Amino acid sequence: MTAPAGPHGIVLVDKPAGWTSHDVVGRCRRLLGTKKVGHAGTLDPMATGLLILGAGQGTRLLTHLVGLGKTYSATIRLGQATTTDDAEGEALGEATAATGLTDEQLEAALDALRGDIAQVPSAVSAIKVDGQRAYARVRAGEDVQLDARPVTISRFDVLARREDGPFCDLDVVVDCSSGTYIRALARDLGAALGVGGHLTALRRTHIGPFSVEEAATVPPRGQDDVSLPLQGLGEAASRTLPTLVLDEAAATDLGHGKRPRVPAVVTRMGAAGTGAGADALVAALDGEGRLVAVAAVEQSGHLRPVLVIPPGART
């Protein structure tokens, strides 16, 4: 198996406001000098914060990163609902005074949105309905009704509260499962309080163990001499999966699609997990910490390769 030329790894980027996730991917393709760049989850243009990009063989690892939990900081304006559940949409009806809400009322509404809930995504989301994005159908004038889906909100806390005319602005922090829509939380919080609500600011600060503090700033267009820091595939996989370090023979076998036994090849486990049970996925590394494969630990005690990285692309 021959790896294509070009960089291979993971890039953490702090997306600026006004850029689409596709804009960032296009910019990074130019900076990295490769067309093979993808992302693990998008952010709306108004949002800022952490995007995980994969370059070269790193695009294949993204499959194992998209389901990681996320943390957001956001501002919710209570007192007005909008067509898009954020500040870019049109107001729905007249503003409702939200300044008289008590802390007890607010906490009760927040608590109802914590834990395992069924959330109806925003109608202007990128979810496909009969092959077309929901937001495209909304822009075409259709009335889009999306089904509720299970999400988990581990944290939904108010950090600060301000009043602005009839509105009550809340700075919040949210820890949630992948697939959660923060705009929908703003909408549902306002609806529960009877005053309407929408999102006015959003920043993603964490995706699993990855933090926006590690992320690179996207240089302005025209500054093409800036290099983006690439995180090795072995390092990135080890932060999200239990880790096995293989001896040379086992690494060769696994790299060729064979199924070496686990007890004969383990020199270290852990890092991202508490161990690898049967059918668990692990990051299989060579002696230099480079990613050989993502593999499943079978009941028989063998490693079954799920994603094999060609030798020339291992980082």
Q: How far apart are CA 291 and CA 255, in angstroms?
A: 10
Phi, psi of 9 (to 5 degrees): 165, -165
What tokens does 97 get?
Answer: 């005074």
Phi, psi of 213 (to 5 degrees): -65, -20
177 touches 71 (CB < 8 A): no
What tokens does 83 get?
Answer: 């067509």
What tokens does 183 get?
Answer: 């705009």
- Judged by DSSP in three states, 233 sits in helix
Closest C-alpha to 283, from 251, 249, 248: 251
Q: How far apart are CA 48 and CA 201, in angstroms?
A: 9
Side chain identity, residue 311:
P
44 touches 238 (CB < 8 A): no
Q: How far apart are CA 258 and CA 306, in angstroms?
A: 11
Residue 279 falls in the annotated catalytic set: no
Closest C-alpha to 253, from 295, 299, 281, 312: 295
Closest C-alpha to 64, from 300, 291, 310: 291
| Residue of 14, 23, 44, 171 marked active site | 44
179 touches 127 (CB < 8 A): no
Residues classed as catalytic:
44
